[in-house]
Amino acid sequence: MISRMRPLLSMMLSSLLVLSACGKNDGSASSNTSATNSTPSPAAASTAATGSTSGGATTTPATSLFNVPDAQNLTVADVQKIISRAVAEASAQGKPAAISVVDRVGNVLAVYTMTGAPANTTLRAAPIPANNTDLEGLSVPAAGAAIAKAITGAYLSSGGNAFSTRTASEIVQQFFPPTAAITPGLEGGPLFGVQFSQLPCSDLASRFNAAGGPGAFIGPKRSPLGLAADPGGFPLYKNGVLVGGVGVMADGDYGFDTDISNTDNDVDENIAFAATTDFAAPSTITANRILLDGTSLRYSDATASTLKSSPAAAPGFSTAGAVGSLTVVTGYFAGAIIDGQAYGTENSGIRKASAAEFNNLDAFILTNGAGNNRYPAIAGSDAADVGTALSAAETAAVLEEAFKIMARSRAAIRQPLDSRAQVSVSVVDTRGKILGVVRAPDAPIFGIDVSLQKARTAAFFSNKNAASDLNGDPSADVRTFIPAARTFLNDTTAFTGATAFSSRSIGNLARPFFPDGNFNNPNGPFSRPLPKWSPLSTGLQSALVLTNLAQHVNFVSGASATDTPQRCSFIPDAAAGQNRLQNGIQIFSGGVPIYRGSTLVGAVGTSGDGIDQDDMVSFLGLFNGGARVTGIGEASNFIRSDNVIVQINGQSVRLRYVNCPFAPFLDTNDQNVCQGK
């Protein structure tokens, strides 16, 4: 069932909660969320959602519901202009910088290092670093940090929203909004954990190919450090169309803004802001125009008045003299400025699907640059494990029905208001194999990798092998989390397949206080304790990939000739060459497991336009897909994670499963659209 994580203070209060509506909406990217509370009895554990017909299967629309972004791209001359303006501001600030420009799908178009700029930057540590093997406090190449900031600006944005790395900082921390004064009830950011996506070890993310040729420029490309929460990264727009991002590293501190109650004068942000002149996001879609839970997001503390130069008067681009030079970055940039790819073209790796490739005329797919769909709907690879694997038709049904739900849904993070949601959707089998990926035309790029992480997270933790896989990791740190979780849940057999876990419920267990927002309580078992927690050290999520990130940093810096493999984590393989968590885990909402009767057969994940919307698209997409093909569907009400009750400080707290928005559709007035499913 769909339930809120609220303490059940007594049997009387528990009974009252069954009848009451909940208030706060869990830091979701929706301001009109509805959910129910209930007692833990199996009879009351059926999914809380309405019996509305609005959740039913619909026909494919005969006309397009979405506008396709214009085919715009950054040219070499554009990139030179962007760098010149950044250099002029950095010179005026007296802070030489590393500057990076990327296109919308993550190709690095330039890296420019000014003379005197720091070669490295330090990853900021928590008040008490988690352990001496953590990435906190690590020195990394400044160019890699600049690339990560540029990719973040490009990947989090779209034609309907422009997010910067300052925006990212606001939505990934332990409180939303972040504040120096701890306020009771503040929960984690709505995209808590998203910084550990677009990882350099991801099997979905493509890699720089210096040799060029077909497929060399397909996206999405990986990021050296995942997504950045350090101010100094912005999206770039050309003729109003998102074409890329710019990132700057000058101050040597790769961190985050822990208090948004004041205005910062951040040198990285000022330089990057100057660089966006003539390529700035439309003012109507910047993050400060978007409300989450009544909070206006932050876009930039830099303004024209905080700059020390006149960007329009910046000298022309030059690599001569003492100003600086283009910089080769191993694995990312060969040393010569290149044109960006126009998003939506075959060369970009993301384009409109043909009718033969996907049964919806609005669908976009990932391609290999040579005309082929990288992830068409296919059958599962795990018949030996599950008996009857997902068929290609079943995979297609879930993807198609999820896409239809998305197209009817009101967006949470897009302008203008009442725009249609745009997301990416992925389906996997129990071994983590990708069975299909589809996306809306203008969905943010970050959601591709994240939707896959969410699907794999739900499939992994619902799998009978979850505990043994984590206990088989070579990292002693990783091996501490299952025993801690079993103690926390008072269940010595937890994570052996008896419970269906969503990515939301795993996120519940991965917060630095449990339940989220109760800061006087201890941390969840998959999180670092709050004094040791930071956006760069979240717990199990970060521990799983620390070795991968360290390997990659050594590769980029030249300390090692060997890059990290396209295989995040070192848990045992599910099959030859197949890791169940091949691009890491994700700890916010949008992933649910798929069952054939009582047997786990895979999972679906959604990401891109609000965490409750993500939950709904996955949940109803699976429900409707199962109704269409029969044989597959949701987990039984009796095994969903919202049956799990945790005793904490004398209170009873229920895990959550999914949380659907209230009255989410543009074509009906139906309210609790997931009720009873």
C-alpha torsion sign, points 129, 132, 135, 140? positive
Contacts of 556 (CB under 8 A, 6+ apart): 140, 141, 143, 144, 224, 329, 330, 331, 332
Contacts of 526 (CB under 8 A, 6+ apart): 481, 485, 506, 509, 510, 539, 540, 541, 587
Considering the domain architecture, whether residues 59 and 113 belong to the same structural domain is answered as no
DSSP 603-627: EEEEESS-HHHHHHHHHHHHHHHHH
Considering the domain architecture, whether residues 500 and 603 belong to the same structural domain is answered as no
Which H or E run includes 374?
none
Considering the domain architecture, whether residues 487 and 439 belong to the same structural domain is answered as no
Whether 562 is in a domain gets the answer: no
Whether 183 is in a domain gets the answer: yes
The CATH number linked to 5 is: 3.30.450.150
Count of domains in the chain?
A: 3
Based on its alpha-carbon atoms, the radius of gyration of the chain, rounded to whole angstroms, reads 23
Whether 262 is in a domain gets the answer: yes
For residues 662 and 23, the answer to whether their CB atoms sit within 8 Å is: no
Look at strands 120-123 and 253-254 and give their pairing.
parallel
Distances (CA, A) of 572 to 197, 463, 481, 581: 21, 14, 16, 10
Q: How far is Cα 538 from Cα 532, in angstroms, rounded to an integer?
A: 9
Considering the domain architecture, whether residues 373 and 487 belong to the same structural domain is answered as no
Tens-digit pLDDT profile for residues 569-627: 999 999 999 999 999 999 999 999 999 999 999 999 999 999 999 999 999 999 999 99
Considering the domain architecture, whether residues 109 and 209 belong to the same structural domain is answered as yes
Distances (CA, A) of 598 to 151, 398, 468, 647: 41, 18, 21, 27
3-class state of residue 112 by DSSP: strand
Q: How far is Cα 387 from Cα 385, in angstroms, rounded to an integer?
A: 6
Sheet strands side by side (includes 350-352):
350-352, 364-366, 434-439, 424-428, 599-607, 591-596
pLDDT at residue 61, rounded to an integer? 65
**Which residue from 229, 216, 243, 193 is spatially nearest to 449, judged by alpha carbons?**
193
The low-confidence residues of the chain, meaning pLDDT below 70, are 1-61, 126-134, 182, 319-321
Considering the domain architecture, whether residues 51 and 121 belong to the same structural domain is answered as no
Considering the domain architecture, whether residues 5 and 80 belong to the same structural domain is answered as no
pLDDT at residue 318, rounded to an integer? 79
pTM of the predicted model as reported, rounded to 2 decimal places: 0.91
3-class state of residue 558 by DSSP: coil
Q: How many other β-carbons are positioned within 10 Å of the β-carbon of residue 531?
A: 13
Considering the domain architecture, whether residues 425 and 472 belong to the same structural domain is answered as no
Q: Which amino acid is at 327?
A: T
pLDDT at residue 64, rounded to an integer? 92
The residue written with tokens 């669908």 in the block is 363
**Which residue from 498, 569, 543 is spatially nearest to 202, judged by alpha carbons?**
569
Q: How far is Cα 398 from Cα 618, in angstroms, rounded to an integer?
A: 8
**Which residue from 335, 369, 331 is spatially nearest to 350, judged by alpha carbons?**
369
Final residue in a domain of this structure, among 275, 298, 326: 326
- Print the domain residue range for 281: 76-326
Spell out the alpha helix ranges (H) of 316-391: 383-386
